[in-house]
Amino acid sequence: MKLSKLVGIRYKENPADCIIDSHIFSIRGGYIKQVSNGIFSLYTPMKRVTSKIEGILREEMENVECQEVMFPVVLPGSLWEESGRYESVGDELLRFNDRSGTPMVLGMTHEEAAVNLARDFGRTYANYPFSIYQIQTKYRDEARPRAGLIRVREFTMKDAYSFHTSQEDLEKYYDKMANVYFRIFQRAGIPDVISVKSDSGMIGGSVSHEYMLLADCGEDSIVLCDDCGYSANMEAADTIVDNSGCSGMTELKKVSTPCCKTIEDVCKFLNSPVEESCKAVMYQINATDEYVIVFLRGDYEVNETKLTNYLGEKVHAAEVTPESGIVAGFCGPYNQNAKCRIIYDKSLEGIESLCAGANETDYHYTGLNIKRDIGDVEYIDVSKIQTGGICPCCGKKTIKISRGIEAGNIFQLGTKYTDSMEMTYTDEDGTSKTPIMGCYGIGVGRLAACVMEAHHDDKGPIWPISIAPWQVHLCCMRVDDEECKAEADRIYCELKKEGIEVIYDDRDVRAGAMFADADLLGVPVRVTVGPKALKEGEIELSTRDKSVNGRVKKEDIIKETKALIAKLFEDIDKTVSPLI
Amino acid sequence: MKLSKLVGIRYKENPADCIIDSHIFSIRGGYIKQVSNGIFSLYTPMKRVTSKIEGILREEMENVECQEVMFPVVLPGSLWEESGRYESVGDELLRFNDRSGTPMVLGMTHEEAAVNLARDFGRTYANYPFSIYQIQTKYRDEARPRAGLIRVREFTMKDAYSFHTSQEDLEKYYDKMANVYFRIFQRAGIPDVISVKSDSGMIGGSVSHEYMLLADCGEDSIVLCDDCGYSANMEAADTIVDNSGCSGMTELKKVSTPCCKTIEDVCKFLNSPVEESCKAVMYQINATDEYVIVFLRGDYEVNETKLTNYLGEKVHAAEVTPESGIVAGFCGPYNQNAKCRIIYDKSLEGIESLCAGANETDYHYTGLNIKRDIGDVEYIDVSKIQTGGICPCCGKKTIKISRGIEAGNIFQLGTKYTDSMEMTYTDEDGTSKTPIMGCYGIGVGRLAACVMEAHHDDKGPIWPISIAPWQVHLCCMRVDDEECKAEADRIYCELKKEGIEVIYDDRDVRAGAMFADADLLGVPVRVTVGPKALKEGEIELSTRDKSVNGRVKKEDIIKETKALIAKLFEDIDKTVSPLI
C-alpha cells in the first residue's frame, strides 16, 4: 500500500509519559493509540504485526493438534461461581449486571469456558487427550496499566486448554507445548526467550513455567544460575541461606539501642553483623485483619507471594496500632506478647546468636538463640533470593537476578477446574474420573511489544521479517523526477505481483523525513529509488539493520529483493527448534 | 483432522426451544454452545466457517482500499458522551464502571472509536478519502436474543468506516462498497441477497441500505415490487393510499354503537366499509409520558419506527387512565378533549366521509369530514405499507411483503459523528471543514447462520465450498477391514499433501451414524471408501447436495476430488459480480 494513504501519524519527538522503548516507538511510529488507560486501538501497522503473530500461533497450535474454537468475552458470573473464582479473584475481574440483572464478567482467562465447552465431549475416556484454543480479546481491570502494550487492560490472547486422563499424559503434552512455545518465540524473532519455573498464582495448579524475554525494562525479576542453567521467577525460587559461618552461642542480653530506627542502625550501633540480626516485617491478613509477623535475617526481604501461598490468604502491610501490642521498630521474637501469627523465615535457621528487638522502645536483645530461648520453631521460606545467593539446583553461590518481560506461560492445572466444575469421564473400567487439565497462554500484543523491545535502535523498531508489517519499504526519493517515479512505480507493481508485501512511500517529502518514517515503520528490507543511482542504472537495496547496504542493477532489483527476503526468512528458520 | 478427535457432540434429535433451521443444525451439528442467553462459544467447525468468512471480508475490504485496524471492545463512556450516544442509546448499550469508577461501555458499534482513531490523520484534505475497518467482538445487551447466531448479544462483526471531503465522494465510495457487499454474499454462497433501502435508526445518517436474505424465518419485513424492482424495509417504505374511490361528503351524525369493541365491529354494525373508517392508536412518549393519538384508516397499522422518527422521541403503547380524558374504544378526532398530541396518518387523506369514535362510550360519528368538521390538518405517513399496496417507485398496486434476515448494512452517515466529536480538516483553501462519514457492517456469525438457512436439507447444512469447515469429508466405512482402512488412510494423507482440507471419519461406527454426522457437518465433497466398491477398484465420490453421486477408479480419486473442488469453486465464481 501507499504510505501517503496509511492512516496514522508518525512523530519526531518522544511522547510524554513513555518510559520504555517499545512504548515510545509504538506511539511515535503510529502503531497504537490510547483510547483509555491501558486500552488501545491498533493502527494498520500493528494490526498487520499482530495478524502475523496470530498466523504463527495458529500453525504452532496445529503442530500440537490443538483445535481452534472461540469463547465469549462476556461470560455469566454463574460459570465463575462454579469454579469458585467469582469470589476468589480480586478487582481485576470486571463484574457487572446485564439489563436483566444477571451477574456477568468480562473474561480474563477462559478455564471455565473451556471446561464448559469440553464437558460433553469429555464424558468418555476414548476421546482423550484433546486440546482447544482460541485467539480472542480479554479484559483485566488492572489497577496500574503501564508501558504501552506490555501491561494493558484489554488485550488479545492465544489461550489453549488441554484435557488428559493421567498426569503422565499431561506432562507429555506439556513438554510438547513447551517445545512449540520456544518455536513461537523463535519464529517471531526472539529466540533468546527463556523458560523459568514460576508460581501459578490465581490460575492455580502445581507446575508452571513463564517464558521470559530478558530486558532491563521488564517488571519481573528472574533468578538465573549461569553455572547449571537453573531459572525461576522470584516467587518460585527457593531461598537457601548458609549460616554456617555465624558466631557461636552467647548470653542473652537486653541492651539499650536509642535512636536506632532500622535493623541496619541497630547493627551499626552495636557493631554487630547484619547477617546475625533478626528483623520483623508486619502484615495483616486481608480478610480478617489478623496480624502476621515475619521474622527474617536483617539483610533479607519478604517475598509476599511466597508468604501468601504459605498462608493461603492475601495480606497487606500492617497498620500497627497501639492496641496491637506490637512495638514497631523494636519487635522481636523473644518476649513477644502481641496477639498475632508469627512466621520464622528460613534465613534465620542455624544462627546461634541473634540481635533482635526486645518489644520495648529503644531496647534490643543480643545473643538471642531461638532454640534455647524460644524453643523449637518451624522455619518457612518466605524471603527473596538474592544476587550471589545459593542456586537451589547446583548449590553454588552463583545466583544472578535479571529483569524480564513475561511473554507467555504454561500451567499444569491438575484437577482444580474439572473438580470444582464437576467435569467427569467414564474410564475404560466403567468408573467415573476427573480429567486433568493444562493451560497455555500468550498475549499477542505483548509479544509484539517484546519483539520491539528486543529489536530496535534509537530510530525505531527493526522488525524480524516473519512478523514485520510489510516485507519491503520502497522509497521514491524524487516523485517530481519522471524517471525516478516511473521506476519506483514499476518496482511497486512488480513486487506486488510477486506476492511481496510492500509499503510504498510515494510522498513528496524530504529524504530525512522519508527515512525517519521508514525507520519508525521498521520494515526489514528497503528499496530506495534515487535519481543519482538510477543515472548509473542502479537501485539501492538495504536492510533496516544495515547488515545489507548496497546497490544492485535496476534490472535485478526484483530478483535480488526476493533473494534477500528469502535469506532473512532462512536466518529466522535457523533459530527454530525441531518439533518433538 | 480426524473426526474422532473433533471436540463437540452431534445429536440425532432436534433440540428444545430451537425454531429455525440454522439454529437447530448449529446445535445438532456441534457448531455452537450456548454459554448464556444470546452468548455462544463456537466449536471448531463454526470457527472454521467464520474464519473463512473473515478471509473473504478481508479480501473484499482490500478491494475498496479499506485498511484493517483494531478498536477496543471496552470503551470509555466519555467517548460516547462526545457523540451524544452515551445518553441517547437505550439499555442495549452495556454501561459499567471500571475499578476506578470511570464509566465505560462495551462497544456495540465503533463510530466513536473510528473518529477517535482517524482524527489526527484526517486533519488535512490531502489525506482524504480513506477508510478503515476491523473484525472484532461486539456486545449488544439485547432484551430478547433469539434464533442461535441470528440475534445474539455477543458477536463478531466486520465494521468499516470511511471519511470524505464531499457528499459526492462519499456516494462514489458507497457505491463501491455496495458492490463488494454483493460480492461478499455471492462469494459466501448466497447470491440471492438483495439490498433494500432502510431506516438508519440509532446509527444515524440519511441514506442507508440493508442486505437481506429472503427467508420465512426472518424477523424483518421487506417491501418489494416485482414490477419495477423497488425494495425497502417497512420503516423506509412510503405508504401511499389511494382514497379516490371513496363515498362523497355526507352529514355528520352521532350514532349508537353498543358492544362494538373494534373498528371492524363498528363497521360491521353500521354496515360501513372499513376503508372509510378512522381508528385511533394511543401511545405515550417514553421520556414524558405525554399521550400521542394516531388516527389512521381502519385497515392500516401504525409503524412505530416511522412514528418515532417523526416525533424524534421513543414511545410505548399507552396506558389509558380515566384521568387521560381518552375514551378507549371510542376515541375519535371530533370533539376530542384529551390533553395529548394528535397525529393524522396519510391513510386518512382524501376520505370525505368517515366513521370515527365520538369520545363517548358506545357512540361513534358517521359522515365525519376532517376538513369540514375539524379543519386543516397535516397528514403524516406513520403507517405500514400493505401487500397489494401502491409501489412508491412505479405507482402500481404491486407491493409484496416478504420476510428477510438482515445480513449486512451500509450507511451514509453525513457529519453526525464528525460534527458532534469535532473532527475537522483544513481544506485546500485553508478553511476548516467537517469530514463526511460512511459506515458499513456485516455480522460474521449471522452471515454463517444465513448461509445455513439458505442451504440445508432436512439432514443438515449444505455448505458452499467457499466457507465450508472442510472441503472434503472422507468416510472409511470399515475400519476393521484392513484394505479399506489402508486405502482411506492413503487418501487422507494424499489429500492433505495436496493442501486440501479433509475431515476424516475413521471411527468404528455404523454407516447410518457416519452419514448422519457427515450430513450435519455439511462438507460439500464426500469421499467414501467402502469394501464393496473397493473390491471393484473404486471409491465413491459425491457432493453433499447429491448433484454428484458416483464412483471413480481408486487411482483417480485424488485427481477427481481436486477437479470436483475446483468445479464447485468455479460455480461460486460464476455468481460473483465484477468489481466496479
Out of B65, B74, B139, whose CB is closest to A39? B74
Residue A454 confidence (pLDDT) = 94
CA–CA distance, A50 with B214 (Å, rounded to integer): 38
Helices (H), B431-470: 444-454
Out of A7, A127, A132, whose CB is closest to B67? A7
Record: contact A35-B75, CB cut-off 8 A? yes
CA–CA distance, B202 with B90 (Å, rounded to integer): 10
Q: Is the pLDDT confidence value at A206 over 80?
A: no
CATH number at residue B504: 3.40.50.800
Burial A100-124 (b: 16+ CB within 10 A, else e): eeeebbbbbbbbbbbbbbbbebbbe
Residue B262 confidence (pLDDT) = 85
Which 3-state string (H, E, C) describes A302-319?
A: ECHHHHHHHHCCCEEECC
The answer, for A58 touching chain B at a CB cutoff of 8 Å, is no
From residue A545, give the alpha-carbon distance in Å to each of A452, A549, B427: 13, 9, 39
Record: contact B35-A75, CB cut-off 8 A? yes
Let me know whether A422 and A561 are in one domain: no
Q: Is residue B242 part of a domain?
A: no
C-alpha cell at A285: 491478613
Q: What's the mean pLDDT when you consider all of chain A?
A: 92
Look at A4 and B235; give whichever has higher pLDDT: A4
Residue B329 confidence (pLDDT) = 86
CATH number at residue A98: 3.30.930.10
Q: Is residue A238 part of a domain?
A: no
Record: contact A35-B72, CB cut-off 8 A? yes
Residue B97's closest chain A neighbor by CA? A96
Record: contact A7-B118, CB cut-off 8 A? yes
Residue B56 sits at φ, ψ, to 5 deg, of -65, -45
Best residue in B98, B112, B425 for a mutation probing chain A (most A CBs within 10 Å): B98
The answer, for A69 touching chain B at a CB cutoff of 8 Å, is yes
Residue B204 confidence (pLDDT) = 53
Out of B44, B104, B117, whose CB is closest to A41? B117
Q: Is residue B507 part of a domain?
A: yes
Beta strands in B109-151 (DSSP E): 130-139
Owner of C-alpha cell 454463517: B448
Q: Is residue A226 part of a domain?
A: no
Tell me the sheet residues that pair with A231: A224
The answer, for A50 touching chain B at a CB cutoff of 8 Å, is yes
Record: contact B69-A51, CB cut-off 8 A? no
Owner of C-alpha cell 471500571: B98
CA–CA distance, B106 with B104 (Å, rounded to integer): 7
CA angle at B433 for the pair B429 and B437, rounded to the nearest 5°: 130
- Chain B (120-149) residues lying within 8 Å, Cβ to Cβ, of chain A: 120-121, 127, 130, 132, 134, 136-137, 139, 141, 143
Q: Is residue B248 part of a domain?
A: no
Chain B residues with CB-CB distance to A6 below 8 A = 67
Which residues neighbour A15 within 8 Å (Cβ) at sequence distance 6 or greater? A24, A27, A28
CA–CA distance, B479 with B477 (Å, rounded to integer): 6
C-alpha cell at B484: 479399506
In angstroms, what separates the C-alpha of B297 from chain A's closest C-alpha? 37
Let me know whether B283 and B430 are in one domain: no
Number of domains in chain A: 3
Q: Is the pLDDT confidence value at B201 over 80?
A: no
Q: Is the pLDDT confidence value at A279 over 90?
A: yes
Let me know whether B335 and B484 are in one domain: no
Residue A71 sits at φ, ψ, to 5 deg, of -100, 160
The mean per-residue pLDDT over the stretch B460-483 comes to 96
pLDDT in tens, A67-106: 999 999 999 999 999 999 998 888 899 999 999 999 999 9
Residue A455 confidence (pLDDT) = 96
Chain B residues with CB-CB distance to A92 below 8 A = 99
Question: Using 50, 70 and 90 to split pLDDT, how confident is the model at B209?
Answer: very high
C-alpha cell at A132: 482447544
Out of A69, A72, A154, whose CB is closest to B44? A69
Let me know whether A49 and A175 are in one domain: yes
Residue A200 confidence (pLDDT) = 58
Chain B residues with CB-CB distance to A137 below 8 A = 73, 136-137
Let me know whether A263 and A293 are in one domain: yes
Work out whether strand A432-433 and strand A130-139 pair parallel, antiparallel, or are unpaired.
unpaired
Question: Using 50, 70 and 90 to split pLDDT, how confident is the model at A498?
Answer: very high
Let me know whether B275 and B314 are in one domain: yes
Q: Is residue B23 part of a domain?
A: no
The answer, for A116 touching chain B at a CB cutoff of 8 Å, is yes
| Domain final residue, candidates A454, A479, A513 | A454
pLDDT in tens, B41-59: 999 999 999 999 999 999 9
- Chain B (505-564) residues lying within 8 Å, Cβ to Cβ, of chain A: none
Record: contact A67-B44, CB cut-off 8 A? yes
Q: Residue B312 CB: number of other CB atoms within 10 A?
A: 7
Q: Specify whether the CB–CB gap between B257 and B364 falls below 8 A.
A: yes
Best residue in A32, A37, A67 for a mutation probing chain B (most B CBs within 10 Å): A67
Q: Residue A317 CB: number of other CB atoms within 10 A?
A: 10
Out of A40, A91, A134, whose CB is closest to B72? A40
| Domain final residue, candidates A454, A489, A517 | A454
The answer, for A1 touching chain B at a CB cutoff of 8 Å, is yes
Chain A residues with CB-CB distance to B136 below 8 A = 137
Question: Using 50, 70 and 90 to split pLDDT, how confident is the model at B338?
Answer: confident
Q: Specify whether the CB–CB gap between B272 and B366 falls below 8 A.
A: yes
Look at B263 and A185; give whichever has higher pLDDT: A185
Record: contact A73-B139, CB cut-off 8 A? yes
Let me know whether A178 and A31 are in one domain: yes
Q: Specify whether the CB–CB gap between A298 and A277 falls below 8 A.
A: yes
Helices (H), A455-552: 482-497, 511-521, 531-535
Record: contact B99-A113, CB cut-off 8 A? no
Chain A residues with CB-CB distance to B6 below 8 A = 67
pLDDT in tens, B494-540: 999 999 999 999 999 999 999 999 999 999 999 999 999 999 999 99
At residue A513, what is the residue type?
A
Let me know whether A33 and A144 are in one domain: yes
Range with lowest mean pLDDT among A475-479, A502-506, B355-359: B355-359
Which residue segment(s) compose the domain that A485 sits in?
Answer: 470-574
Best residue in A117, A127, A444 for a mutation probing chain B (most B CBs within 10 Å): A117
- Chain A (145-174) residues lying within 8 Å, Cβ to Cβ, of chain B: 153-154, 156
The mean per-residue pLDDT over the stretch A445-461 comes to 95
| Dihedral angle sign, alpha carbons of residues A220, A225, A230, A235 | negative
Q: Is residue B448 part of a domain?
A: yes
Let me know whether B441 and B468 are in one domain: no
pLDDT in tens, A42-60: 999 999 999 999 999 999 9
CATH number at residue B343: 3.90.960.10
| A138 SS3 class | strand
- Residue B242 carries which DSSP code? -
The answer, for B473 touching chain A at a CB cutoff of 8 Å, is no
Record: contact A74-B36, CB cut-off 8 A? yes
The mean per-residue pLDDT over the stretch B24-37 comes to 94
Chain A residues with CB-CB distance to B46 below 8 A = 70
Residue A199 confidence (pLDDT) = 66
Question: Using 50, 70 and 90 to split pLDDT, how confident is the model at A451?
Answer: very high
At residue B190, what is the residue type?
I
Out of B4, B68, B137, whose CB is closest to A44? B68
Chain A residues with CB-CB distance to B39 below 8 A = 72, 74-76
Let me know whether B232 and B315 are in one domain: no
Out of A39, A67, A96, whose CB is closest to B7? A67
Q: Is the pLDDT confidence value at B205 over 80?
A: no
Chain B residues with CB-CB distance to A47 below 8 A = 68-70, 134
Let me know whether B131 and B261 are in one domain: no
The answer, for B96 touching chain A at a CB cutoff of 8 Å, is yes
Best residue in A3, A32, A74 for a mutation probing chain B (most B CBs within 10 Å): A74
| Dihedral angle sign, alpha carbons of residues B479, B482, B486, B488 | negative
CA–CA distance, A296 with A357 (Å, rounded to integer): 12
Q: Is residue A240 part of a domain?
A: no
The answer, for A5 touching chain B at a CB cutoff of 8 Å, is yes
The mean per-residue pLDDT over the stretch B268-294 comes to 91
Q: Residue A31 CB: number of other CB atoms within 10 A?
A: 32
Tell me the sheet residues that pair with A221: A403
Let me know whether B231 and B282 are in one domain: no
Chain A residues with CB-CB distance to B99 below 8 A = 91-92, 94, 141, 143
pLDDT in tens, A348-372: 999 999 999 989 889 999 899 999 9
The answer, for A73 touching chain B at a CB cutoff of 8 Å, is yes
Work out whether strand A354-360 and strand A154-164 pair parallel, antiparallel, or are unpaired.
unpaired
Q: What percent of chain B has pLDDT over 90?
A: 74
The mean per-residue pLDDT over the stretch A561-565 comes to 97
Chain B residues with CB-CB distance to A112 below 8 A = none
Tell me the sheet residues that pair with B553: B538
The answer, for B113 touching chain A at a CB cutoff of 8 Å, is yes
